[in-house]
Amino acid sequence: MSRTCTLLITIADPTALLAMYGASDPTAAERTAFRRAEKQYKLYKPLNLKGRSRSKPSGGEGGGADLSAVVDFHALLAANGELPAGIGRRDCAGFDRPVFCFLDRPGFYFIPGALSTEEQCCWIRESLKTFPQPPNRTNLTAIYGSISDLLIAAKNQKILVEAENPDIQERNEQNNCGGKTESKYFKFVDSESQKGEEHRSTAATTLVRKLRWSTLGLQFDWSKRNYDVSLPHNKIPDALASLAKKMAIPAMPSGEEFKPEAAIVNYYGPSDMLGGHVDDMEADWTKPIVSISLGCKCIFLLGGKIRDEVPTAMFLRSGDIVLMAGEARERFHGVPRIFTDQQEISALISQLSSGDDVFILDYIKNSRININIRQVY
- Give the C-alpha separation, 16 to 11, whole Å: 9
Give the CB-side neighbour count of residue 47, counting CA atoms within 13 A: 3
* Strand bridging mode 100-102 / 108-111: antiparallel
No. of H helices and E strands in the chain? 12, 19
Q: What length is written for the chain? A: 377
Nearby residues of 93 by Cβ (< 8 Å), 6 or more positions away: none
What are the backbone dihedrals phi and psi of residue 152, each rounded to the nearest 5 degrees, phi first? Answer: -60, -40
Are 81 and 57 spatial neighbours (Cβ–Cβ below 8 Å)?
Answer: no
- Give the C-alpha separation, 203 to 266, whole Å: 21
Residue ranges for the known binding site for Fe cation are 277, 279, 333
Are 26 and 19 spatial neighbours (Cβ–Cβ below 8 Å)?
Answer: yes
Residue ranges for the known binding site are 277, 279, 333
- DSSP annotation of 171 reads H
- Give the C-alpha separation, 372 to 193, whole Å: 40
Nearby residues of 32 by Cβ (< 8 Å), 6 or more positions away: 307, 308
- Give the C-alpha separation, 316 to 72, whole Å: 8
- Give the C-alpha separation, 300 to 311, whole Å: 9
- Give the C-alpha separation, 73 to 100, whole Å: 8
Neighbours of 238 (CB within 10 A): 9
Stretch (H or E) spanning 40: helix 33-41
